[in-house]
Structure 1
Amino acid sequence: MDIREVQRDASQRDTLQRDTLQRDAVQRDAVQRDAAQPDGPQPDDPQQTLDHSKKLDPDDARFASPLTHPNGTSIFPTLSASEQHLMAQEALEQAQEAIVLDEQVVRDDSDAGYSSDGFSSATTSAQSSVRDYLYENGRRYHRFREGSYNFPNDDVEQEREDMKHAMVKLLCSQKLLFAPIGNNPQQMLDLGTGTGIWAIEVGDQYPSAHVLGVDLSPIQPDWLPPNVRFLVDDVESTWLYPPNHFDYIHSRHTVMAVRDWRRLFRHAYQHLKPGGWIELQEIHHKPRSARPDGRPLSPDHAVAQFWARVNEGLTGLGVDLDRATGGYLAQAMRDEGLVNITERVFHVPIGTWPKNKVLKTVGLYWRTILLDGLQAIALGPLTRGLHWDRQQVEMFLVDVRRAYHDNSALMYMPLHILYAQKPE
């Protein structure tokens, strides 16, 4: 998909989401006649136990500018090269420290027509199998190891996952990974590869490597780089790969699926080469507020309520979203023998409240991703975990959809990037 198409689609979706708010209110009144909205507990805020002293250096030549894409297209063509460089430096620094808000946007509670960015794609041949799906509440789910993953895998969700990939790349200055793996890795593994977009791009970046992407769903494209292949498997089952085999293992956006992180790290330790690296990139889906006065986001805020319910439902299904925090994951890595554990934390804004244009674009991207995925995120945890019916879910989402457009709340979520090494 071309970068400009993604940019246009995100802007159009954001506009449509605003237009549906009034209609949703009418629908909610109708649904309320048939269903009641239940209450439930909210998880405590997890303790952050790691020292995040290491920051990305915006002057490091390893980082490409987030303002220019591989095809040469500029995100902000009206800005000079020096202005774009300064903006990129500012975005990297603020994402790891404190994001400066755009006071006019917060005051007016509007987006001023801001549009989002996109991603690149790649092409060459793959095999696929196990194409048997489960349909539930109007969405398509995987059939292999049914119930292991409680979210859809249909075309709408795949587009959302690819947009999430684009958002993380933009936030991280186009960097696909952070572990110091060198320039010549031979064997790379992508856990929960999804659409395969990360595996495809990393295969292009490291032509010396054989890249294997593993997922429960065979939804990857048929045309791939020659050094990339995919396998349908459950990463929480016994791994059948050779021991001491991989130079690098990658996992991103899997916190909503993994039940036993220690077991996963145990597998990684066994199958990494001595000196090999594992890297996680996980967003902690507990919204926070960047208010200058230090006030946290109220637990009564509709977005906070939404994620509390989702976490409650997933907990009943064996998954704990609060384990996305660096403290828990780092300790689990350490317990399984991994060393040289390093964490980076980036603030991912929700909405267009940041002043920096890169972070403003990231915020629009992330809000669009969250709004597009409201139903996909909610249905599995709330119907399977809390035993709500679909009407209850749809009613619950009405206020959440409106609340995501509240720029005055200065909402963000932390992205935890951790990497660790198997001892030499």
Structure 2
Amino acid sequence: MTDPAGNQAPSASAAPTNNLPPANNTGPVVEIDETVVDRNDGNDSTYGDELSTYTASITSSVLAHEYKHGRRYHSYHAGNYQFPNDEPEQDRLDMCHHVYYRSLGDRLFLAPINLDGKRVLDIGTGTGIWAMQLGELYPKAELIVGNDLSPIQPHWVPPNVKFLIDDVEQEWLEPKSYDFIHSRYMVGSIRDWPKLIRQCYQHLKPGGWVEFQDTTNRLYSEDGTLDPENNVLKLMNNLIEACGRIGIPGDFAPRIKGELEKAGFVNVQEKIFKVPVGAWPKDKRLKEIGAFTALQFIEGVEGLTAATFSEILGWSKEEITVFNAKVIADCKRRDVHCMHEIRVIFGQRPE
């Protein structure tokens, strides 16, 4: 049996069926012990009824696309979002979904809430895979709304799922309308994080929960194997620099917890998961996570650099092509034990 991403679904014994942690659960925090590294250090390349679910709440320009750098981009507010929305990028986003899902211990969220009869908003839903899996897991949830700028989500979805095509950084309608708001992998896409967090507070029902899942975007190693000249490290640093030049924080995840508390959320918790880049760990699950993480860089580096490096950093096409090849080569190295972090921060609006 496979999940919507085409990945082998975990067995019933491998993961809880209700996705709910015990009230005092601290979450499956991943610690990577450098003594359990797979020491096969040879560099290799083994990475190897229909619903009309769309609601457009802004002008028809939301449906427009722009073609440049050999890729398809969303043209609405193109200055805010610098990455493609075509099929190769959608495949990369689904790989990222798998990395998050496996890193969180085969869970879609960690907030202690039962979603039966509840209304859910998924900010920046992308391909819609998180919302669709949630709809399958919680058929008794009243409504799951996936919000995104690009209409790239499928039309065949669980009956309690719909997609809203809108800009989450504009004003929202219907205050106090959701029981749970989820946001994932949005660092590098949002200009005003404090405003977004305040909007989440305003649109949660009293007692409702918000959860942000995002990466720190800062690579490191614990054994000194990550050289400052490593090109995957340079990739992430340059992406943070490019986003910063256009006013978008490229590494906001470490600040989200403080902003939730500042906005008035209570019961705020943060869980940190170490994510390897590459198939170097011995542990089978971490090896899988690392392989998918490296693969999304290998197959996605062109989309990550095409607009950001040329239009913002001023690189030539030739410079970008050479650099991308170096990134791919460094992603395949098993003698470099680099990693980054996924941070999951959730909090509750007071009753």
TM-score above 0.5, yes or no: yes
Whether 1:318 aligns to 2:247 is yes
Unpaired segments of 5 or more residues in structure 1? 9-62, 71-91, 116-122
CA–CA separation in structure 1 for the residues paired with 2:221 and 2:158: 42
Pick the aligned partner of 2:33 from 98, 120, 124.
98
Aligned residue runs from structure 1 range 195-214, under 5 A: 195-209=127-141, 210-214=143-147
What do the CA deviations read for 1:206-249 (whole angstroms, capped 9, x no partner)? 22220011100000001111111111111111111x11111000
Instruction: Check whether the contact 1:65–1:173 (CA below 8 A) recurs between aligned residues.
Output: no
What do the CA deviations read for 1:377-407 (whole angstroms, capped 9, x no partner)? 1122212221223222112212221111221
Cα offset for 1:171?
2.2
Instruction: Check whether the contact 2:272–2:342 (CA below 8 A) recurs between aligned residues.
Output: yes
Aligned residue runs from structure 1 range 115-134, under 5 A: 124-128=50-54, 130-134=62-66
Pick the aligned partner of 1:341 from 268, 281, 292.
268
Instruction: Check whether the contact 1:313–1:384 (CA below 8 A) recurs between aligned residues.
Output: no
Report the secondary structure of 1:361's partner residue.
helix
Unpaired segments of 5 or more residues in structure 2? 19-27, 57-61
Instruction: Check whether the contact 2:5–2:94 (CA below 8 A) recurs between aligned residues.
Output: no
Amino acid at match of 1:359: L
Tell me which residue corresponds to 1:400.
Answer: 327
Tell me which residue corresponds to 1:373.
Answer: 300
Pick the aligned partner of 1:159 from 91, 97, 101.
91
Instruction: Check whether the contact 2:188–2:251 (CA below 8 A) recurs between aligned residues.
Output: no
Check 1:97–1:273 CA distance in 2 against 1; reply closer, same or farther (3 A cut).
farther
CA–CA separation in structure 2 for the residues paired with 1:390 and 1:69: 48
Equivalent residue pairs, number: 332
Pick the aligned partner of 2:171 from 230, 238, 248.
238
CA–CA separation in structure 2 for the residues paired with 1:99 and 1:199: 35
Instruction: Check whether the contact 1:337–1:422 (CA below 8 A) recurs between aligned residues.
Output: yes
Cα offset for 1:183?
4.4
Tell me which residue corresponds to 2:181.
Answer: 249
Report the secondary structure of 2:228's partner residue.
coil
What do the CA deviations read for 1:131-161 (whole angstroms, capped 9, x no partner)? 3201111110112223221100001111111
Instruction: Check whether the contact 1:192–1:215 (CA below 8 A) recurs between aligned residues.
Output: yes
Amino acid at match of 1:211: I
CA–CA separation in structure 1 for the residues paired with 2:183 and 2:67: 27
Report the secondary structure of 1:208's partner residue.
coil
Which of the two has greater strand per residue? 2
Cα offset for 1:304?
1.4
Whether 1:358 aligns to 2:291 is no
CA–CA separation in structure 1 for the residues paired with 2:267 and 2:349: 9
Amino acid at match of 2:110: F
What do the CA deviations read for 1:19-45 (whole angstroms, capped 9, x no partner)? xxxxxxxxxxxxxxxxxxxxxxxxxxx
What do the CA deviations read for 1:166-186 (whole angstroms, capped 9, x no partner)? 222122222011001124251
Tell me which residue corresponds to 2:206.
Answer: 274
Tell me which residue corresponds to 2:152.
Answer: 219
Instruction: Check whether the contact 2:121–2:181 (CA below 8 A) recurs between aligned residues.
Output: yes
Report the secondary structure of 1:416's partner residue.
strand
Which of the two has greater helix per residue? 1
Report the secondary structure of 1:318's partner residue.
coil
What do the CA deviations read for 1:327-348 (whole angstroms, capped 9, x no partner)? x111111111111110111111
Aligned residue runs from structure 1 range 300-315, under 5 A: 300-315=229-244
Cα offset for 1:101?
3.1
Normalising to structure 1: TM-score of the pair? 0.73
Check 1:380–1:245 CA distance in 2 against 1; reply closer, same or farther (3 A cut).
same
Whether 1:142 aligns to 2:74 is yes
Check 1:124–1:281 CA distance in 2 against 1; reply closer, same or farther (3 A cut).
farther
Instruction: Check whether the contact 1:100–1:354 (CA below 8 A) recurs between aligned residues.
Output: no
Normalising to structure 2: TM-score of the pair? 0.87
Percent identity over the alignment is: 34
Tell me which residue corresponds to 1:65.
Answer: 14
Instruction: Check whether the contact 2:4–2:129 (CA below 8 A) recurs between aligned residues.
Output: no
Cα offset for 1:202?
0.7
